[in-house]
Structure 1
């Protein structure tokens, strides 16, 4: 039993080390900004919006303050009386590049997908589509960085990502930062990378060729559904290190972190069921070792394990913490060592808890709407509308 426990600990350390070494350059920005393309076709920047949340004004303003010379920004709400309508109008003023679109309630797909498709219909003159969330802050080169590989013909589709910028040392805030960092580190691993819906670009031609309108029109989510669908065509999203947004965050509670991570894992379950099943092993490998090490130390304290086992468990915990400090070096805003290690350790426990929750449901609830979801992420029924 001890040999098995220490084998799992060693495997976890190997995985965490490999993830850090393979992804750190990408997280730090890769080779730097993309050059401005020689030709600049019109971009349709599609931004589903709802509510009026802290940081939204800054995020919306950043998407309009871009160095790309020709784009139309389409902000889409489900209803005309959504508070986001007034927010966008207040930020955009009379900017002629901005369109406001009301999509209406979704009946056959996730509301975000429904909003995106409505926004694309409004961007009739766009040759390349860019999809963004309204909760992340972009630098002035974001659109250029994200769209340039598509315009050059290097890839039909690109994906960026985002970094959590912690505004406090709350365990939930740091845990969110660690979780998103881990996903960010996975982005350059082309065999498993998935597009991220908060920063994607695709040519109109590729969008039509791959049948994404039909896919999104019946699916619960945009990005998770695209990964396996595009793989059937031998296509993967091109990760663009320089197209990285910032997400200022403070006051994240454990409950909100729990809901967010459970939702991400449910997307995996619904859209990529084989990947979800394989993840059972991965989640055990990542989450069990700290608990196993503590159990070994407890066994030593009660005389049920030898001193050598206790030393090995302490060595594992030291290595585990040391890797956590390496990850801390990738965070865009430094936090205290103790606070970071607390959030880092909590991430592994939260992963196991949230993954366990995905076994108990086939429904998805988000922003006041519940969906019954089938194989491949297909929406079977909209159960409740908020």
Structure 2
């Protein structure tokens, strides 16, 4: 999925680079850099960093939760949540089979938290079967079984193309969980994109989950960081786990300051990223290619998944050709994307301009035509 490319060599050749690998590569805005310079700081392990405290208070209020905690990444936030909720040996969590915590967090729930994962097949919209969820929950487990201790959902759903999961489904998951006194955690790395898509406050999106995390990096443009929120008792335990994982910040206000800027100026503008992604998706769909397919109706936010007929095209070859600019190419643009299995992924973010989108579409059309 990740490939080292000599970007400097390409840039020095005068070729335009449009990097659509991920919104994780977004860089802080000038306002964020200024806020970092001027941030009031203290030792956050002692809860004495005023900027971190302000960010945590603001995020808790935004999400409608009692408290929030600033952590280094969404992966750390998810791991901490698992370790707090699944606090007895022999615990099990339930996740969709395309969930980020299951597929892309190095199995940390197992090899660090010691928690077993039971998976349910994700539907194309990021949901999973409630009937299967009921079956997966272990009722009164005997000594041979793990204990079901947590259910994890994801919103937006990365591997389902950045789709926003239905709120009605989240409510039903919560109801099933409540029947068995099991908490629900939302991996909401891009939940602000979901809030913008639904035109609803973030607190509504997380009303039916016990805990939630979201990234300040990615589309919001901060250089680093994620927020984890829940009840006061949950966050108290989460701070202990964060410290054990080496995540105790010291003068972290310089990193929290961009988060406050992001909440003021970067959330509503996510709609621009959604417009850009949809424009790219429509351009590919309009080619009517039998080899390259995009579900335009499923492009809710800033992620475009292009499915390939792998019997005719190797996704890695397509990815490489998008990045390559030959002397004879009429389009002097290098488009960077990520690739896995039978698809490539294109992700927009605040530094991707209207011109970038137009140039990327031009290059994609040319390469699709070649294949």
TM-score of the pair, normalised by structure 1: 0.30
Considering Cα pairs closer than 8 Å and 6+ residues apart, tell me whether 1 or 2 has the greater RCO: 2
TM-score by length of 2: 0.30
Q: Which has the higher helix share?
A: 1
